[in-house]
Amino acid sequence: MSSVEKYLKPEVINQIKRLDLRAQFVVRGFLQGLHASPFQGFSVEFSEHRKYTAGDDPKDIDWLVFAKTDKFYVKKFEAETNITGYLVMDLSRSMGYTYRQDLSKFDYAICLAASLCYLMIHQQDPVGLITFDQRVRDSLAPRSKRAHLGNLLSHLSRLQPAGETDVAHSLIQIAAMLRHHSLVMIFSDLLVDTEPVIRALRQLRHGGHDVILFHVLDEAEVQFPFQGTVELEDPETQQRVRLDADHFRRDYLQEVEAFRETYRRACFQSGIDYVPLDTSMPFDKALLEYLLSRQARF
Amino acid sequence: MAFVNLSLVLGTMLVGIPIVLHLVMRQQPKRMVFPAVRFVQRRQESNRRTLRLRHWLLLLLRCLAVALAALALARPSVSSNLFGNWIIIAALTLLVLLIGVLLLAGILTRQGRLLLTSLGVVGAVACAGLLTMLIGTLRQSDTSLIGDRQTPVAAVMVFDSSPRMQYRHANRTRLEQAQTIADSVVRQLPPDSQIAVLDSRAIAPVFSLDLAAARKTIERVRPTGVPRSLDQLLTTALQVLDPNSLKRKEIYVYTDLTAAAWELDDTARLQAQFAQAAEVALFLIDVGVEQPRNVALGTVQLSAETMPENSDLVIRTTVSMTGHAAAGDAEETAVELWVEDYDPTLPILREREVVLPTARVLNRHEVALSGNDSETVEFSVRGLTKGTRHAELRLVRQDALPIDDRRYLTVTVCDPWFVLVVAPSDVDTSALVEAIAPYQYRLENRATYVCKTITPEELVNHDLAEYAAVAILDPPPLSGSSWGQLGTYVRDGGQLALFLGHHAGDASAFNSADAQELLPGRLGRQYRVAGRDEYLAPHGYEHPILRPLRSIATSVPWGDFPVFRYWSLPELANDAVVVLRFGNQHPALLERRVGHGTVLTMTTPITERERPAGRQAWNELAGPGDWPRFILVNEIMRYLTQHDAGRYNYTAGQDIALANHPDQDPSRYLLFTPGGETQPVQARDDKVTISTAEVPGVYRLKGERDGPVTRGFAVNLPASASRLERTTREQLDAVLGADRYQLAVNQEQLVREQGRQREGREFFPFLVVLVTVTLILEQLLANRFYRDTDTGAS
């Protein structure tokens, strides 16, 4: 493994405290690992010509080509290749959970968000940030300037998971907020009732937005590594459950899988990209998912 | 139920350990924060139920393993006859446990009510069965004796001392072998045991004073010629044991296990008796030989036991072979006839030795036998001189069972019988005389009867006393004095045969008081039969006169000899017996006892010519091929002359009664038994009665009356005494009840069976198997329950 690629691993990136560096390392490591460049579709440079047809703006005609071939060709414009991205962060207390005490779901989500942010700014895509708990808390309007990256990252690094959350309500709010067709990237553990959330997601999608749902769970929540009799307490509702972990594991894993499957199916039906993640997974999966989604749009 | 290590039963309390571990040592849960509790909640309830069930199942198995291990180490045992019951109880317990577990599982996993109810019903039935069985078995079982070898025993040693037990194998008779084993059994019985010895004579025994006395009694057991069946012996043994106060009761039966020893047709009785006496242990010690080999002489058949001098004696017997080599592989042997010389002065006791007449071989028959077949041997003897004569049939070859290699026989040779034939001169007496004393025999002086013929007129003043019988053929009306003379003769023991015919004329002459004293009833008219449809038609063949015809009854051509006329007897005397009837049920031959004598009256003549002059023939009995008449006449005469001839050949065990005429015979005799012993015998009521003739052989009686008088008789074993077929295990089961007895063929096996009976049957091996199964089950279940965990963690 090359020195840069190792930064795709959460445990490695966790040693880097500065979020801007984290994002930089993640993205560099990721780009170096790719063989074919996925950037072609939305490059600001020239990519292809198209025959001029009536109705096209005559100012788009490439006169150099006309000079060589004596035919009219038009070039694509920058505005078509750019996409406005929104990073939507769930601030619920459960997001701050970590079993191994190194990288919480929130940290993972922040790191991922920062990386995406870095990636998009570098492509001159405007990126904004929305945080929510019971309702939308903060929002930074999307910009594509380099300076904006610093704002975003410093804002991200200041975020703290606290309190209860209402994902569905917040998503409906966000759907109402966004004017242009945008790429909405949601980072949440979704540990709430599924039905309202799915409905809200559909509403968001119906608004014409592209949605990528990064479903971030803790490694322990996915693997259930407990042993013997344990008493589990919900950090948000303070509910307690006593059980024998050894015998319960299979049932629990089935439940988690069923939960993820519910979202996967609902998202597939609505054309939403659903990316199930846990805190032990390398970041490239999430990034690749974003890029593939981005590419599919052009 | 008894335990070898009773204290280890307390080990079952260790069952508490897994329970305590389960209840008290339950670990405190680790408390931790976990946001995804919502995934837990939904499945938690069913998970907890399954978990609890698994825990309880494991707990049950562990408790069971501990309890079973403790129980196995305590080594419980039960009496052998209740072993089956305990096995059923154990199976029922397991069933109840299983149903309990299923029920628990059903309740915990909230199964349907129908399933639970049916499970509950089945469980209740099983529980009820278990309880009933347990109470019944506990009530039956007397555990005080199990496991203690030194408890005194009340034992009855039953010896099959039948003649078969003299079968010799490995140079020992079976009885000797039985005695040896019995002796060692007695030696190893616990002190203070009480022993009674019972042999095939079935005399109810008493318990010996001590073991040494018992051993002496066992030594004295001798074979008996009159063996009782083992069924009877066992019944007696049970009766002897019943009042005994000792708790442990045992019966040892020493037998060769031949089928003849048992009454195999009545099996239920003995089985019921043994079922009732459940506390009595029964040991069968088989001293028999698996494949016995024997050549045996069968029952002796004689042409006559009393015979006149010079007549022929025909001796018939069978030689049969048991268990010898395969067919085609014939074995040769010979049967010899030994006849004793006649010497009235012998036997005599000389220097404490019995001197017997010398016996000589008179004849010899070679016999070749193969496989399990038999052959008839016939000897004919002539010229035996007067007196009681003893003879013996001997097999030349000795074999393993000597008792049936000799057969004894005794006949009495006497003067020929004098018969007075009274007939009118126109009656052909040869029809009678030639039938009973043929010309040829008369010439050779060996006819059974000596006949004198007179006319009815000569009868008056004729001395009848010297005649054994008087036959009056077709009598004319007799004078009153003649009837009186005949009446006196018959009352004094004379025998009279009357064959009525046409000479009788007027019936009234025969209905006089004198005549009616002898005749069987008033004569009516002459009964005429039209056609040839009436003939002699014997109905039953019980009368001695008809007995020889019984075996050929259906093939006697009575119909060829029609009867046309006979005297009817409308009134029969009270004591008249009809021996033979015509087809229309009218009497043809009648018997009447008068004083000491007998009168036989036939209502139609036997001497009728085929075509008598001037009248119609009365019958065609003397027609061509008249062998039935020949036999009838001979049997009538035999019946009249020899009816009081004694029997001289008996089967062992029969009561022996020899006629003893006080005016001819001595009243005191000395009896010489075949064993060489002597004992005085007194004649009573004109009879010499002996009831102790059990040993086969020739018994001789010697008395004094105007010189020495010797008489005697022969005793043989029944042919069944040498039947050596063995009983099968199924037959034994049927007689005694399966599992009711222990069978041993030698001492070691007997000791083992005794141990099993006294110490009961141990559950140890079963319990160990159960413990193993339980542990394996526990391991399997535990592995299965926790395997999910391992795979999940990995």
Whether residue B37 and residue A227 make contact (CB cut-off 8 A), yes or no, is no
Of B773, B767, B778, B775, the C-alpha closest to B90 is B767
What's the pLDDT at B265?
72
Q: Does A139 score more than 80 pLDDT?
A: yes
What's the pLDDT at B764?
82
Bridging pattern class, strands B359-369 and A210-217? unpaired
> How many Å apart are CA B128 and CA B290, to the nearest integer?
48
What is the domain range of residue A67?
A: 44-78
Min mean pLDDT across A209-213, B33-37, B230-234, B329-333 is at B329-333
CA distance to partner chain B, nearest, from residue A49 (Å) = 53
- For domain B417-642, give the fold: Rossmann fold (3.40.50)
What's the pLDDT at B142?
57
Of B441, B428, B432, the C-alpha closest to B470 is B432
The 3-state DSSP class for residue B211 equals: helix
Mean pLDDT of B623-638: 84
Of B728, B643, B614, B756, the C-alpha closest to B81 is B756
Bridging pattern class, strands B495-499 and B571-572? unpaired
Whether residue B789 and residue A256 make contact (CB cut-off 8 A), yes or no, is no
Of the candidates B44, B788, B793, the beta carbon closest to that of A243 is on B44
The 3-state DSSP class for residue A129 equals: strand
User: What percent of chain B has pLDDT above 90?
Assistant: 2
What's the pLDDT at A131?
92
With an 8 Å Cβ cutoff, is B32 touching chain A?
yes
Q: Looking at the DSSP assignment, which residues form a beta bridge with residue B364?
A: B336
Cβ-based neighbour number of residue A192 at 10 Å: 19
Of B603, B605, B621, the C-alpha closest to B562 is B621
pLDDT digits 0-9 by tens, A1-59: 445 566 566 766 666 666 666 667 777 766 665 544 444 334 444 556 778 888 877 88
Chain A hits for B32, Cβ within 8 Å = 226, 230-233
For residues A154 and A169, membership in a common domain is answered with: yes
> How many Å apart are CA B473 and CA B466, to the nearest integer?
19
What's the pLDDT at A13?
67
What's the pLDDT at A44?
44
For residues A154 and A186, membership in a common domain is answered with: yes
For residues A186 and A258, membership in a common domain is answered with: yes
pLDDT digits 0-9 by tens, B578-587: 888 888 888 8
Best mean pLDDT range from A96-105, B91-100, B498-507? B91-100
Distances (CA, A) of B304 to A243, B342, B548, B552: 108, 19, 13, 20
> How many Å apart are CA A3 and CA B746, to the nearest integer?
93
Residue A131 · residue A138 · CB < 8 Å: yes
With an 8 Å Cβ cutoff, is B627 touching chain A?
no
Burial of B126 (0-12, 13-18, 19+ CB in 10 A): buried
Q: Does B151 score more than 80 pLDDT?
A: no
Which ipTM score applies to this complex? 0.73
Whether residue A241 and residue B789 make contact (CB cut-off 8 A), yes or no, is no
pLDDT digits 0-9 by tens, A106-124: 888 888 888 888 878 877 7
What's the pLDDT at A102?
78
Looking at every residue in chain A, the average pLDDT score rounds to 80
For residues A70 and A217, membership in a common domain is answered with: no
- Are both B153-292+726-759 and B294-414+647-722 of the same fold? no
Output the six-digit token pair for A287. 């990034």
Hunting for tokens 């089928």 — which residue is that?
Answer: B259
Mean pLDDT of B115-119: 88
Q: How many residue pairs from chains A and B have C-beta atoms closer than 8 A?
A: 104
> How many Å apart are CA B604 and CA B141, to the nearest integer?
79
Of the candidates A231, A232, A246, the beta carbon closest to that of B789 is on A246
Q: Does B145 score more than 60 pLDDT?
A: no
pLDDT digits 0-9 by tens, A160-169: 888 788 899 9
Per-residue DSSP letter, A1? -
- Output the CA angle B531-B536-B538, nearest 5 degrees: 145
Per-residue DSSP letter, A6? G
For residues A217 and A86, membership in a common domain is answered with: yes
For residues A53 and A177, membership in a common domain is answered with: no
DSSP string, B651-701: ETT--EEEE--TTTS-SEEEEE-TTS-EEEEE-BTTEEEE----S-EEEEE
Tell whether omega for the bond before B347 is within 30 degrees of 0, i.e. cis. yes
Confidence of residue B790 (pLDDT cuts 50, 70, 90): very low
What's the pLDDT at A37?
42
Burial of B265 (0-12, 13-18, 19+ CB in 10 A): exposed
What's the pLDDT at A266?
92
Whether residue A232 and residue B40 make contact (CB cut-off 8 A), yes or no, is yes
Q: Tell me which chain B residue has its CA closest to the CA of residue A247.
A: B789
Confidence of residue B794 (pLDDT cuts 50, 70, 90): very low
Burial of A90 (0-12, 13-18, 19+ CB in 10 A): buried
Of B49, B109, B788, B104, the C-alpha closest to A243 is B49
Confidence of residue B643 (pLDDT cuts 50, 70, 90): low
What's the pLDDT at A199?
92
Q: Tell me which chain A residue has its CA closest to the CA of residue B41.
A: A241
- Beta-carbon contacts of B761 under 8 Å, excluding residues fewer than 6 positions away, are B77, B78, B79, B80, B83
Whether residue B29 and residue A231 make contact (CB cut-off 8 A), yes or no, is yes
- For domain B153-292+726-759, give the fold: Rossmann fold (3.40.50)
The 3-state DSSP class for residue A207 equals: coil
Distances (CA, A) of B732 to B198, B267, B483, B728: 20, 9, 68, 6
pLDDT digits 0-9 by tens, B187-211: 888 888 888 888 887 777 888 878 8
Whether residue A249 and residue B48 make contact (CB cut-off 8 A), yes or no, is no
Chain A hits for B47, Cβ within 8 Å = 243-244, 247-248, 251
What's the pLDDT at A294?
64
Looking at every residue in chain B, the average pLDDT score rounds to 82
Cα B65 to chain centroid distance, Å, stands at: 56
The 3-state DSSP class for residue A182 equals: strand
Chain B hits for A231, Cβ within 8 Å = 29-32
What's the pLDDT at B614?
79
What's the pLDDT at A42?
41
What's the number of domains chain A is made of?
2
Tell me which amino acid residue B544 is: P
For residues A95 and A161, membership in a common domain is answered with: yes
For residues A200 and A59, membership in a common domain is answered with: no
Whether residue A243 and residue B48 make contact (CB cut-off 8 A), yes or no, is yes
For residues A135 and A70, membership in a common domain is answered with: no
Tell me which amino acid residue A36 is: A
For residues A127 and A233, membership in a common domain is answered with: yes
User: What percent of chain B has pLDDT above 70?
Assistant: 94
* Phi, psi for residue B644 in degrees, rounded to 5: -105, 10
Residue B615 · residue B502 · CB < 8 Å: yes
What's the pLDDT at B792?
41
Chain B hits for A249, Cβ within 8 Å = 788-789, 792-793
What's the pLDDT at A81?
52
CA distance to partner chain A, nearest, from residue B43 (Å) = 7
DSSP string, B139-201: HH--TTSTT-TTS-EEEEEEE--SGGGG-EETTEEHHHHHHHHHHHHHHTSPTT-EEEEE-TT
Whether residue B793 and residue A225 make contact (CB cut-off 8 A), yes or no, is yes
What's the pLDDT at B68?
86
pLDDT digits 0-9 by tens, B556-614: 888 888 888 888 888 888 888 888 888 888 888 899 888 888 898 999 888 887 777 77
pTM over 0.80: no
For residues A142 and A111, membership in a common domain is answered with: yes
CA distance to partner chain A, nearest, from residue B46 (Å) = 10
For residues A66 and A169, membership in a common domain is answered with: no
Tell me which amino acid residue B54 is: R
Cα A156 to chain centroid distance, Å, stands at: 14
The 3-state DSSP class for residue B711 equals: strand
What's the pLDDT at B455?
85
Return the higher-pLDDT residue of A29 and B428: B428
Hunting for tokens 């309702």 — which residue is that?
Answer: A135
CATH number at residue A279: 3.40.50.410
Whether residue A233 and residue B34 make contact (CB cut-off 8 A), yes or no, is yes
With an 8 Å Cβ cutoff, is B328 touching chain A?
no
> How many Å apart are CA B555 and CA A29, to the nearest integer?
128
Helices B37-74 and B16-23: angle between axes, nearest 10 degrees: 160
Distances (CA, A) of B29 to A194, A232, A243, B39, B394: 30, 9, 8, 19, 102
Of B571, B569, B553, B567, the C-alpha closest to B619 is B567
Q: Looking at the DSSP assignment, which residues form a beta bridge with residue B496?
A: B470, B599
Whether residue A246 and residue B42 make contact (CB cut-off 8 A), yes or no, is no
Residue A52 · residue A45 · CB < 8 Å: no
Residue B792 · residue A252 · CB < 8 Å: no
Confidence of residue B324 (pLDDT cuts 50, 70, 90): low
Mean pLDDT of B728-753: 80
Best mean pLDDT range from B21-30, B705-714, B745-754? B705-714
pLDDT digits 0-9 by tens, A234-260: 877 788 888 878 778 888 888 899 999
* Phi, psi for residue B3 in degrees, rounded to 5: -120, 140
Of A259, A147, A145, A135, the C-alpha closest to A192 is A259
Q: Does A261 score more than 90 pLDDT?
A: yes
User: What percent of chain A has pLDDT above 70?
Assistant: 80
Domain B294-414+647-722, CATH number (from 2.120.10.30, 3.90.1150.10, 3.40.50.300, 2.60.40.10): 2.60.40.10
Whether residue B47 and residue A248 make contact (CB cut-off 8 A), yes or no, is yes
Whether residue A241 and residue B793 make contact (CB cut-off 8 A), yes or no, is no
What's the pLDDT at A2?
44
Domain extent listing, chain B: 2-27+36-146+768-793, 153-292+726-759, 294-414+647-722, 417-642
Dihedral angle sign, alpha carbons of residues A176, A177, A180, A182: negative
Output the six-digit token pair for B436. 């009973």
Mean pLDDT of B409-418: 85
